[in-house]
Each structure stands twice: as C-alpha cells, then as structure tokens.
Amino acid sequence: MATAAEAHAMRRAVALAARGLGHTSPNPVVGCVILDAGGRVAGEGWHQRAGGPHAEVHALHAAGERARGGTALVTLEPCDHTGRTGPCSQALISAGVARVRYAVADPTAQARGGAATLAAAGIEVAAGLLAQEAEAVNEPWLTAMRRGRPFVLWKYAATLDGRSAAADGTSRWITSPASRADVHRLRAEADAVVVGSGTLRADDPHLAVRGREGVTQPLRVVLDTRATVKPGARVLDDAAPTLIAVAEDADTAHLRRLPGVRTVRLPRAGTGLQIPALLAELHGRGVRSVLLEGGPTLAGAFLAAGAVDKVVGYLAPVLLGAGPAALADAGITTITQALRLETTDVTRLGPDLRVTATPTAPAPLAEEN
Ligand SMILES: NC(=O)c1ccc[n+]([C@@H]2O[C@H](COP(=O)([O-])OP(=O)(O)OC[C@H]3O[C@@H](n4cnc5c(N)ncnc54)[C@H](OP(=O)(O)O)[C@@H]3O)[C@@H](O)[C@H]2O)c1
C-alpha cells in the first residue's frame, strides 16, 4: 500500500510530467518526485525536452544526498537503456534510493526492463500507483507506442446544428475567442497539425501556435495531392516547419526553394492520399501526436481509416441551417455502423461547449489498416 505522502508525490509527478507536453517527442512526458527516508519531498523534476535529462535525473540532482534510503515516485517505468542519456535505472541505483514506485509500465521494447534491473539491485519496486492519471497525461505517446502510429486528435468547430461552415464556405468565426484560444493549447501540445487542401484553399490557415509563451511549434502538414499550395500561403511562412504531402506524380518545383518547407510523396488512395502512409511517414519523423484540424472531407477519410483516437468538438450556440456538416463521408451508410463515442468531458468555454469523446471501440492497429 502506498502512503498518503507517496500518493501525493505521485500526483505532483503527474502534474510535472504535463509540463513537458509538446516538447519531448519522440519521447514520453515523465515526472518524478524523490521523497527522503523520512517521507519529505527532497527533489522533483520532469523530462523537459528530447535529448535532455530524464525526469529521474533532474529529481535526483535536486535531491542530492537526501535521495539515499528514500523513495522515487515516477509516472513511467524508469528506462533501462542508453540513448542520448544514460539509463535511469542505474541513476536510481547509484543514488541509493530504497524504493521506486512507478505508475505505468514502459511499453517499448527498447526502454522496458528498468523495473527488473532495479529489483535485481535490491530496490523495492511497485507499479500502478495513480496509473489512470499517469496514462492520461501520456495518452498520445502511449497510444503511439502501442499502435505504431501517431495518436490522432480530431478537433472541429461547429454550430449547434452541426455545420462547420456557411453555405458559401466561410467559417470564420463560428466559435468564441475562448474556444479559439483553447485550440492554440491543443496545437501547442501536438507534434503536428494536419489539414486538407480544401481547408487550405478556403481559409488560407496559418496553423502555428500564437499567444502562448515558450512553445515548440508543431509541424504544419497539408495533404495536397496535386501540390496546389501557392507561394505566399500563410502555412508556408517561417513561423513553424511545414510538410506538404503530395502524390508521387505532383509537380513541386514551386515549393523547392522555400525555407522550412518540405514535401513528401505518398501513394494515392481514391481521390486523395493514403492516410496510413501519411501516419507512417510522420511516425518515422518522430511525430507522436497529431492534431487533425479538418476539414470535414479529410476528417471523414481519417475516420474511415480507423485513425481517430479522440474527438474534441467546439459547439457554438449558432445556427446556420445550410452549409457543410462538421464531418463528411466516413464510409458509414447505416445506423448499425455508426461510430459510437464515449463522452469523457464537457466544458463551457465562454458561450461555447467543448465536448471531448473517444471511440468506444478502439481503432485497429496500424498493420490492420
Ligand atoms: N469548422 C471547422 O472546424 C473547420 C475546420 C477546417 C475546415 N473547415 C471548413 O471546411 C471547408 C473545407 O473542407 P473540405 O472538406 O472542403 O476540405 P478538406 O477536408 O480540408 O480537404 C479535403 C481535400 O484534401 C485532399 N486530400 C488528400 N488526401 C485525402 C484523403 N485521403 N481524404 C480526403 N481528402 C484528402 C483532397 O484534395 P486534393 O486531392 O486536391 O489534395 C480533398 O479534396 C472550408 O469551408 C473550411 O472553412 C471548417
């Protein structure tokens, strides 16, 4: 049984882990608190950026000699491998901690085994404390590791009658400034923001994070089969890196000399590009979380490919009566095929409602697509 001090410290470790969101990919977010032998907080830390020290190393450094005989609370099983930094299992052993409690096991073949190494060194090891909370903060990374493709969060804004734009294609702004600011939070936590060429042409979106300090800008990704994006498009500026996904036969000469802009050639699927191929490409580039920002056609293709892990809908108390629906064809033709979701959160943002939901049946694994 964990003590109250240990449970409190693990809750703090989860909060510390969250500070790394948006900065650590391809690594997970991790938080760590060290309690001294008397159960008092001796040090804390979190993984701040890929390539930098792991959470345990920061916390051990802060704790110094007070770690000896103490307890380490870590949100993820300490790693057992030498990557850009040394194994955390060895750092904990060298510091002389007596106990390690971690919340979630490391699912990767490369890093797992830390618990066994610690136990073999005579350290008391226990797993599972506040596992749900620790899973939640690391949901994108854990999903990416388990599925072998980035975690995909589909975000949309709609009127109360479910429309994502007016009949003439205009959609600025359906939702309130509070909802739009919240979208910038989602962008800041994502490794990549993805839109289709329809949205590119209709809205000329910028897709970078604005109004937040110290963010790592996400990769801006446009699915643009025929490379129709024109120099001067806002998504091509230098505010963040950009990847234009095009078909194998697309002419990309006009994009060659733009700094920070890359193109990738993907196989076609129907009228567009293959979604699993896009996700595999992004995964290979270290992207672990994708914010899919639409539009309705591309969202339908992602859903049809079983590639949406979470949905965040911003519903505004606005009626349009005509105009495209928030979601276009997702390959569902009869009510028995309807994609059922579980609502996990409903929050008021100014006049709007933010509804968060996850598919009740998990999306198939990448190799099944
Ligand atoms: N309210 C919201 O949350 C929101 C968000 C975004 C957009 N919008 C609105 O939605 C409208 C644009 O949406 P849209 O549905 O026309 O376009 P879209 O979903 O942004 O883009 C669709 C286009 O993406 C390209 N594409 C590439 N691979 C694809 C694939 N596998 N599946 C589907 N498409 C693929 C296709 O064009 P190519 O083959 O030519 O590349 C396709 O026509 C605008 O009115 C915009 O204002 C609203």
Dihedral angle computed from the Cα positions of residues 207, 213, 218 and 223, in that order, rounded to the nearest 10 degrees: 0
- Same domain for 108 and 160? no
Domain of 264: which CATH number? 3.40.430.10
From 135, 164, 179, give the residue that closes a domain. 135
Report how far ligand 1's centroid is from the alpha carbon of 199 (Å): 5
- The tokens for 258 are 């733009």
Report the distance separating Cα 154 and Cα 302, nearest Å. Answer: 9
Q: Please work out whether the CB of residue 157 comes within 6 Å of at least one atom of ligand 1.
A: yes
- Same domain for 279 and 162? yes
More confident of the two residues 169 and 290: 290
pLDDT for 36 beyond 70: yes
Q: Which residue range forms the structural domain that includes residue 129?
A: 4-135
Which candidate, 259, 253, 260, 210, places its Cα nearest to that of 229?
Answer: 253
Cβ 82 vs Cβ 115: under 8 Å = no
Kindly state whether residue 140 falls inside one of the protein's structural domains: no
* Tally of CB atoms within 10 A around 334: 6
What is the value of pTM for the model shown? 0.93
Three-point CA angle 141, 184, 75, nearest 5°: 30
Q: How confident is the model at residue 365 (pLDDT cuts 50, 70, 90)?
A: low
Cβ 289 vs Cβ 190: under 8 Å = yes
Q: What atom of ligand 1 comes closest to residue 174's alpha carbon?
A: 1
Number of domain units in the chain: 2
Kindly state whether residue 364 falls inside one of the protein's structural domains: no
Helix (H) or strand (E) holding 101: strand 99-104
Report how far ligand 1's centroid is from the alpha carbon of 175 (Å): 19
- Same domain for 274 and 221? yes
Kindly state whether residue 368 falls inside one of the protein's structural domains: no
Q: Please work out whether the CB of residue 36 comes within 6 Å of at least one atom of ligand 1.
A: no
Report how far ligand 1's centroid is from the alpha carbon of 107 (Å): 35
Q: Say which of 56, 77, 133, 189 is annotated catalytic.
A: 56
Kindly state whether residue 369 falls inside one of the protein's structural domains: no
- The tokens for 117 are 């190494």
- Same domain for 107 and 164? no
From 105, 135, 165, give the residue that closes a domain. 135
Report how far ligand 1's centroid is from the alpha carbon of 298 (Å): 5
For residue 283, is it left (φ>0), alpha (ψ between -120 and 50) or beta? Answer: alpha
Kindly state whether residue 10 falls inside one of the protein's structural domains: yes
- Same domain for 97 and 153? no
pLDDT for 104 beyond 70: yes
- Same domain for 233 and 266? yes
Residue 56 designated active-site: yes
Q: Please work out whether the CB of residue 294 comes within 6 Å of at least one atom of ligand 1.
A: yes
The protein residue with its alpha carbon nearest to ligand 1, atom 26, reads 272
The total number of residues written for the chain in this structure: 369
* Tally of CB atoms within 10 A around 96: 14
Mean pLDDT of 2-23: 96
The protein residue with its alpha carbon nearest to ligand 1, atom 6, reads 295
Kindly state whether residue 367 falls inside one of the protein's structural domains: no
Burial pattern 137-163, b for ≥16 Cβ within 10 A else e, equals bbbbbbbbbebebbbbbbbbbbbeeeb
Percent of the chain past pLDDT 90, that is, above it, reads: 88
Q: What atom of ligand 1 comes closest to residue 200's alpha carbon?
A: 20
Report the distance separating Cα 111 and Cα 20, nearest Å. Answer: 19
Q: Please work out whether the CB of residue 271 comes within 6 Å of at least one atom of ligand 1.
A: yes
For a substitution probing ligand 1, which of 271, 274, 312, 327 has the most ligand atoms within 8 Å of its CB?
271
- Same domain for 92 and 169? no
Give Cα separations from 343 to 340, 346, 355, 357 (angstroms): 10, 8, 7, 4
- Same domain for 251 and 222? yes
Kindly state whether residue 366 falls inside one of the protein's structural domains: no
Which candidate, 355, 337, 334, 359, places its Cα nearest to that of 345?
Answer: 355
Residue range 158-217, pLDDT digits in tens = 999 999 999 998 888 999 999 999 999 999 999 999 999 999 999 999 999 998 888 999
- The tokens for 307 are 């590639």
* pLDDT confidence of residue 368: 47
The protein residue with its alpha carbon nearest to ligand 1, atom 46, reads 199
From 135, 166, 183, give the residue that closes a domain. 135
- Same domain for 313 and 237? yes
Q: Please work out whether the CB of residue 77 comes within 6 Å of at least one atom of ligand 1.
A: no
- Same domain for 112 and 209? no
- Same domain for 355 and 216? yes
Q: Please work out whether the CB of residue 250 comes within 6 Å of at least one atom of ligand 1.
A: no
Residue range 292-333, pLDDT digits in tens = 998 999 999 999 999 999 999 999 999 999 999 999 999 999
Report the distance separating Cα 282 and Cα 222, nearest Å. Answer: 12
pLDDT for 58 beyond 60: yes
- HEC profile for 220-263? EEEECCCCCCCCCCHHHCCCCCEEEEEECCCCCHHHCCCCCEEE
Q: Please work out whether the CB of residue 323 comes within 6 Å of at least one atom of ligand 1.
A: no
- The tokens for 319 are 């009626």
Strand partners, 214: none
Q: Please work out whether the CB of residue 203 comes within 6 Å of at least one atom of ligand 1.
A: yes
Three-point CA angle 352, 358, 360, nearest 5°: 135
- Same domain for 78 and 110? yes
Helix (H) or strand (E) holding 352: strand 352-359
Radius of gyration of the chain (CA): 22
Domain of 37: which CATH number? 3.40.140.10
Report the distance separating Cα 130 and Cα 12, nearest Å. Answer: 11
The protein residue with its alpha carbon nearest to ligand 1, atom 47, reads 171
Residue range 13-27, pLDDT digits in tens = 999 999 999 999 999
Spatial neighbors of 347 by CB under 8 A, at least 6 apart, are 353, 354, 356
The protein residue with its alpha carbon nearest to ligand 1, atom 16, reads 198
Kindly state whether residue 343 falls inside one of the protein's structural domains: yes
